[in-house]
Amino acid sequence: MISRVLAGRYELLEKLGEGSLFAAYRARDHETNALVTVKLLQPAFADDTALAHALKQCFSVTSPLNHPRIARILQVCEHEGQLVLVTEFVRGISLKERIRRVAPFTLSVAVDIALAVAEGLESAHRAGIAHGDLRPHNIIVSQEGLIKITDFGLLPALQASPLAQTAWLTRAAPYLPPEVSEGWQVTPAADVYALGVILFEMLTGGVPFPADTPVAVALRHAKDPPPSPRAVNPGVPRAVEGIVLKAMQKLPEQRYADMTSMLQDLRAVHDALRFGKPLSWSPLERAPVSAEPVAPNRKPRPAETEDTELRIIKYLARALTALAGLMLIALVIVWFWITRPVKEVPVPDLQGKPLVEARRLAREAGLNLVIRQEDYNEQFPAGTVYLVQPEPGTSVKAGGAVQVWVSKGSRMVEVPNVQTLTEADARQRLVQAGLRVGKVEEKVHPTAPAGMVLSQSPAPKQRVNRDAPVDLVISKGPALPPVPEEPRERGFELVIPVKGAPGEVVQVRLEVQDALGVYTILDESHTGGEQLIVPVRARGRNVIFRLYFNNQLVHEEVRP
């Protein structure tokens, strides 16, 4: 499948994973040059025309959803009779995989993820669309920490295929509320229940009702009371425990009335964690309003004090009347201030716009642009806006703030060719490309001048992470000729017996050949029978001594 082009424009680049219904691929849209996710039905359902038709209807209902927490549906088409679903590409892993790797999460991380999911669900519920299949498999956590919900509204389509129902139920059963398992009624209350289960799983590392079969799981959801995450993880505060238990009530009417109510409690927990407030409250136990204590019966006061009490009561009555009048005036002023007509303006579409242009568009719309975060992004060039909140088209008060996320460009960069450059120029070129110099090794080279880069690793044009090290090999220039070694001086003592008759005069000559050449050490007349002791200083190895009597060579010796 890899490298195939579907519907004339979507080239499959990499398989991302498989679910009960779909196999997902990372693909490139040749018309926009953007990365997208392409989902194809599993081979078991490829010929199920009823399921394909039902899925098309579901996608047509959910495609208008547009929220930063929801992966957008870009196109639904066919290729050679095969259903092709094209959605926004989100680089990351599923929440289920993240739970498998690191759960239980810290409290702040679990609450932040639940808060992000609740924001997306609230937007969909306002549009009249429930997810119905909310589970960690359908929640993607990107490398930048963004949360995206996928596969909205597919549950009604599963009724068209018993085989699809069975395959789906294996994964979905741990997150389905009792009413969905019994009657397939998809309502926002089902998403509230599922989010409670997901929050439980993030905090404890396991689902609340484990069992061997989907049917056994569904029975436990219907009969067993919801377990407390605090009993599994003592670090869970009462407030978060109450949110989980309230969301997982058996009857829909006993859960949160809507996702907005649950979102309010999650935000309250988020703010408490941020500002160090207590979390001892619980949405299951709202504190009753305490009544004022009844004063005990007092004994009658003496008659002479009645006039004094009467004056005090009248004085307090007049003061309270005046105070009430002032409060009424203040309330009227506040009411007029709050209810005065305020101009609202729509948020412009800033996604994909350069930051300078986005600032201009926001200013022209009467809004203040606030940069929420700058992160690497594979889909948007550096300096462009890749996320906007509130979402484009939303009406906000004039002068309000619109938050944007700005791309720092791709996390991957191409390694430049720094070979033949000087070391200083190579360092500058690598820093400009977002890389850094790693190990530097020097080598002798017969022709390259000293300081020139001979080779690099990684090689040019390879794509690596930003700030990755690039190792360099630098020339030391040609090797210098060897310096001749100064010959070492050595001392010798030669014993020379003069051969000849007693009293006979003999001319004795001694020659030495060493590293400095050939030279005569001794050239004297002596008489036969004498014994000479001659000290000699010579340099180098293999010194040669030649002894002459009357100019005749009589002895030659080599001293190593």
Q: Dihedral (C-alpha) 224, 226, 230, 233: value to the nearest 10 degrees?
A: 70
Tell me the C-alpha distance between 104 and 204, whole Å: 5
Question: In a 3-state reduction of DSSP, which class is residue 394?
Answer: coil
State the helix-helix crossing angle for 107-126 and 238-247, rounded to 10 degrees.
40
What amino acid occupies position 134?
L
H/E element, 221? helix 214-223
The CA distance from 38 to 14, in Å, is 10
Q: What is the DSSP string of 353-404?
A: -BHHHHHHHHHHTT-EEEEEEEE--SSS-TTBEEEEESPTT-EEETT-EEEE
Instruction: Report which DSSP code applies to 452.
Output: B
- Residues of the chain under the 50 pLDDT cut: 287-317, 319-320, 322-323
Please report the pLDDT score of residue 352 as a whole number: 92
Sheet with 453-457, edge to edge strand ranges:
436-443, 469-475, 453-457
CA dist 547 and 29 (Å) reads: 99
**Distance, CA of 382 to CA of 404 (rounded, Å):** 14
Q: How many CB atoms lie within 10 A of CB 62?
A: 19
What span, in angstroms and rounded, lies between the C-alpha atoms of 41 and 181? Answer: 24
Instruction: Say how far apart CA 21 and CA 263 lie, in whole Å.
Output: 30
Q: Rounded to 5 degrees, what are φ and ψ at 69?
A: -95, 0
For residue 72, what are the contacts with CB-CB under 8 A and spacing of at least 6? 63, 65, 66, 87, 88
Instruction: Write the CA distances from 525 to 222, 504, 520, integer angstroms.
Output: 132, 10, 14
- Report which of 215, 167, 176 is spatially closest to residue 20, judged by C-alpha positions: 167
Residues in the chain: 560
Q: Which residue has the tokens 């004085």?
A: 315
Which amino acid is located at 127 in the chain?
A: A
pTM for the full model?
0.52
Number of Cβ within 10 Å of residue 231's Cβ equals: 10
CA distance 203 to 260: 22
Nearest to 59 by CA among 78, 43, 46: 78
Alpha-carbon gap, residue 35 to 244, rounded angstroms: 37
pLDDT tens digit sequence for 242-278: 999 999 999 999 999 999 999 999 999 999 999 999 9
Paired tokens of 49: 């025309």
| pLDDT on residue 289 | 32
Question: Residue 480, exposed/middle/buried by CB under 10 A (0-12, 13-18, 19+)?
Answer: exposed
For position 389, what pLDDT does the model report? 87
Nearest to 516 by CA among 557, 484, 547: 484
Contact predicate 473/504, CB 8 Å: no
End-to-end Cα separation, the chain, in angstroms: 80
Contact (Cβ atoms closer than 8 angstroms) between residue 187 and residue 108: no
Give the separation between CA 474 and CA 443, rounded to whole angstroms.
6
Q: Which amino acid is at 123?
A: S
The enclosing H or E element of 268 equals helix 259-275
Rounded to whole angstroms, what are the CA distances from 493 to 262, 435, 496?
109, 70, 10
How would you class 321 by CB atoms within 10 Å of its CB: exposed for 0-12, middle for 13-18, buried for 19 or more? Answer: exposed
Look at residue 315 in the predicted model and tell me its pLDDT.
Answer: 40
Domains of the chain by start residue, with CATH: 5-88 (3.30.200.20), 97-149+162-275 (1.10.510.10), 344-407 (3.30.10.20), 412-475 (3.30.10.20), 489-559 (2.60.40.2560)
Owner of token pair 């022209």: 364
